[in-house]
Homo-oligomer: A and B are copies of this chain.
Amino acid sequence: MPTNNNPKPAVVLLSGGLDSATSAAIAQAEGYQVHALSIDYGQRHRFELESATRVAQALEVAEHKILTIDLAALGGSALTADIEVPQGRSDEQIADGIPITYVPARNTVMLSLALGYAEVLGSADIFIGVNAVDYSGYPDCRSEFIAAFEQVANLATKAGVEGKLKFQIHTPLIDLTKAEIIRRGTELGVDYALTHTCYSPNEQGVSCGKCDACQLRLKGFADAALVDPIEYQ
Interface positions of A (Cβ within 8 A of B)? 65, 67-71, 73-76, 98, 102-109, 111-113, 115-117, 119-120, 139-140, 142, 144-145, 148-149, 151-153, 155-158, 160-162
Contacts and interface: CB of A to CB of B under 8 A. Distances in A.
Identical chains in the assembly: 2
B145 A148 contact: no
A213 to B, nearest CB: 18
Given A117-B74, A119-B76, A108 B139 contact: no
A151 B154 CA distance: 14
Rank and list the top 6 A-B pairs by shortest CB-CB distance, nearest first. Answer: A105-B116, A104-B116, A76-B120, A139-B161, A108-B112, A109-B112
Contact of A149 (B71, B75, B142, B152): B152
A145 B139 contact: no
B120 A75 contact: yes
A185 B162 CA distance: 34
A160 B145 CA distance: 11
29 contacts: A67-B69, A67-B73, A69-B69, A74-B116, A76-B116, A76-B120, A103-B116, A104-B116, A104-B117, A104-B120, A105-B115, A105-B116, A105-B119, A105-B157, A106-B116, A108-B156, A109-B109, A109-B116, A111-B112, A139-B155, A139-B156, A139-B157, A140-B155, A144-B155, A148-B148, A148-B156, A149-B156, A151-B151, A151-B152
Given A76-B119, A120-B75, A156 B69 contact: no
A102 to B, nearest CB: 6
Contacts of A148: 148, 151-152, 155-156
A108 B151 CA distance: 12
Given A68-B70, A104-B119, A109-B112, 8 more contacts: A65-B74, A109-B109, A109-B116, A139-B160, A140-B155, A142-B155, A148-B148, A149-B156
A116 B166 CA distance: 27
Which residue among A67, A68, A142, A148 has the maximum number of chain B CB atoms within 10 Å of its CB?
A148
B105 A113 contact: yes
A144 B152 CA distance: 9
Contacts of A149: 152, 156
